[in-house]
Structure 1
Amino acid sequence: MRIRSLLTGLIGIALLPAALAAPATAEYKIVTASKSGTYIQIGRDLAKWVAEPAGIDLEVLESKGSAENVHRMRFEQGVKLALVQSDVYQAFLDQAKAGSADAGNIIRPLRLILPLYDEEIYFVARADSPLNSIHEIRNKKLGVGALGSGTALSARTLYQLMFGEPIPAANAQYLNNEEALAALTVDKSIDVAIIVAGQPAKLFTDMKPEARNFIKILKLDEKAPETARVTKTYFPATIRATSYPSWLTADIPTLTIKAYLVTYDYGLQSTVGNLGRFAESLCTNFDKLQANGHPKWKQVKLELPALSQGWRYYPPMEKRLRACISSQTASRVGAFGKATPQAPPQRPCTEQELVLGICNR
């Protein structure tokens, strides 16, 4: 028995250096959106094709959407990455600039990794509704997304831009996508459900041909004066019939907003190293993302454009990405041109603060 114990101990000591040499897998989390949206599929793609090769076990978490993601990115243990709409990110910056200490505390340490793709905005009405265009939603009952979602912020911002006034409180219901469609078609308590999702979105791809008997998507009228007021922040886009061939019979003009991959301004050396490897893997496996991931990856460009004031890239990841992109560009046969140089007291809460989740009443 003694000999066996001694041998076991010796074997353990012999294996110890190898065990110490093996790097531990980092366990990180990314916050996305609802299980029926596009964000969660993008998160799963990043976990499989980027994080795993970089030695990171990336857990993909559901959420209400972009505004909640900003909070969780800032405060939730283990969350190292988030997907955020550009208008939500800018809204936090605007609130901070206007003097909100809470908004400043949340947004200032956050950093961008990469611009992703444009997300389409769906204005869904009942099939028998007299409404046909987006600018006709004034004074209608609206499902504007759940509190804490990017959809809620987008819906409020769009309405304000189009009509010069906020959505009347009595007309706004904060519902998630599935709840909004039920309220629209079953109890008919709302007239329009506003949904933000990159096409093809699972929520709509799962619909059967009979869906066209119950719902329709309102069109963007580019000649309407209301449209001109929103296209400085949001941009014209098309919901393609090929994205939802089971029930959509024609392309629908609409609006869109950009999605970003976001992190925090980490300084801990182990985290800096792990995220640096993630950035390297994102670059080297980008072709796999486009080939095997959600169709939206085909719209993503592996580049780091100049940012608006107050927006910043995360330097350790930016450095790795720029070096990798430059290396790939230089080695690509037939490549032309060079990478473009980049410019380095108590009071009632406002409705926007409530939507953003920074209300301390």
Structure 2
Amino acid sequence: MTIRSLLTGLMLMTVLPAAVAAPPAARAEYKIVTASKTGTYIQIGRDLAKYVAEPAGIDLEVLESKGSAENVHRMRFEAGVKLALVQSDVYQAFLDEAKAGSADAGNIIRPLRLILPLYDEEIYFVARADSPLNYIHEIKDKKLSVGPLGSGTALSSRTLYQLMFGQPIPTANAQYLSNEEALARLTVDKSIDVAIIVAGQPAKLFTDMKPEARNYIKILKLDDKAPETARVTKTYFPATIRSTSYANWLTDDIPTLTIKAYLVTYDYGLQSTVGNLSRFAESLCTNFDKLQANGHPKWKQVRLELPALSQGWRYYPPMEKRLRACIAGQMAVSRTGAFAKPQSQQAPQPQRPCTEQELVLGICSR
């Protein structure tokens, strides 16, 4: 063998491994739908992207939305959306509509699955500072901002009103406004009497307010002795908006109501998606302490557990299995199970007039 051929062989031995080395695996690119930029959901989504998705090898894009009802639709139909944050009353409303015979609601909600219960979201009933209203049960027949169409706030507002007063909000009294628009209408042109806002405390919308805010707005209180309260607390739960959450402008704690938030996905069967979401579940468990230490304060109220669910509610099996194994300290678990294939991505058009409830849920249009 000549010196030239020997050198050539050595060079090939050096170069060849780099030439044939397998390229690094592409990171999964997923999306999560949250809520408005001033709400709590979007901050929770950013925490999940940073402390859970990133270590799991997933690039998670955090998307704004109108809220829970829109999130259910986008989770079901929008490409790339693999995760959503949804209020429990919105999820239940879709199930109720499906049970009542709505094909649209059934097509949307039945393939969705829960990952983890999160925290309670406070409901703020905001009135002008000079309003004669002081209590939540005094909003009957008042002009209300109930949140945008397609939002969880709109559904919660309508459900609360129906429970309290035994009748729907009069159409002429309901305006479907964003939180920012609602506060402007409340304080500037005074075209509404109360803005109903759902957000986990501390919510950026309110933490950004200055002390002068108390000259313009106040939060109505829950009266636990009112009969309307007794009717509504069968579905919603008493809670407290703490003055420490909004030290700039609140001087006292405010009793109010809450609703539970959930992390939701779809009943995926594609093996690559199952694997990615399983890794996400394990990362959620193993990095949970980082969420509580560094994420939004609401993470401190989240418990890493999977309680029994109401009828019609189901966990996503691959993520449930991984979470239960991790929670129990069994970190090595095989991926098993056959999962349903996604259903048709075309929701049928309704052939009858829409109810107000269907309009709010976004499953019918006039």
TM-score normalized by the length of structure 1: 0.91
Structure 2 counterparts to residues 281-300 of structure 1, below 5 A: 281-300=283-302
CA distance in 2, matches of 1:132, 1:328: 52
SS across alignment from 2:101 = coil
CA distance in 2, matches of 1:38, 1:359: 28
TM-score normalized by the length of structure 2: 0.90
Which of 307, 310, 319 is the aligned partner of 2:309? Answer: 307
CA distance in 2, matches of 1:251, 1:217: 10
Structure 2 counterpart of 1:224: 226
Structure 1 counterpart of 2:358: 353
Structure 2 counterpart of 1:128: 130
CA distance in 2, matches of 1:128, 1:90: 37
Q: Compared with structure 1, are the counterparts of its residues 14 and 310 closer, same or farther at alpha carbon in structure 2 (3 Å cutoff)? A: same
Q: Report how far residue 24 of structure 1 moved.
A: 1.2
Structure 2 counterpart of 1:184: 186
Structure 2 counterpart of 1:38: 40
Could you tell me which amino acid in structure 1 is paired with residue 358 of structure 2?
E
Structure 2 counterparts to residues 81-160 of structure 1, below 5 A: 81-160=83-162
The sequence identity of aligned pairs, in percent, is 88
CA distance in 2, matches of 1:17, 1:319: 37
Could you tell me which amino acid in structure 2 is paired with residue 346 of structure 1?
Q
Q: Report how far residue 347 of structure 1 moved.
A: 1.8
Q: Report how far residue 18 of structure 1 moved.
A: 3.3
CA distance in 2, matches of 1:140, 1:16: 72
Q: Compared with structure 1, are the counterparts of its residues 17 and 50 closer, same or farther at alpha carbon in structure 2 (3 Å cutoff)? A: farther
Which of 171, 174, 196 is the aligned partner of 1:172? Answer: 174
Could you tell me which amino acid in structure 1 is paired with residue 235 of structure 2?
T
CA distance in 2, matches of 1:316, 1:202: 34
Structure 2 counterpart of 1:15: 18
Structure 2 counterparts to residues 47-66 of structure 1, below 5 A: 47-66=49-68
In the TM superposition, what whole-angstrom CA distance separates every residue of 1:200-222 from its partner, at most 9, and x where no partner exists?
A: 00000000000000000000000
SS across alignment from 1:306 = coil
Q: Report how far residue 16 of structure 1 moved.
A: 4.7
Q: Report how far residue 260 of structure 1 moved.
A: 0.1
In the TM superposition, what whole-angstrom CA distance separates every residue of 1:145-197 from its partner, at most 9, and x where no partner exists?
A: 00000000000000000000000000000001000000000010000000000
CA distance in 2, matches of 1:347, 1:229: 32
Q: Which has the larger radius of gyration?
A: 2
In the TM superposition, what whole-angstrom CA distance separates every residue of 1:109-142 from its partner, at most 9, and x where no partner exists?
A: 0000000000000000000000000000000000
1:262 aligns with 2:264: yes
Moved over 3 A (4+): 8-14, 16-20
Q: Report how far residue 17 of structure 1 moved.
A: 4.3
Q: Report how far residue 328 of structure 1 moved.
A: 7.5
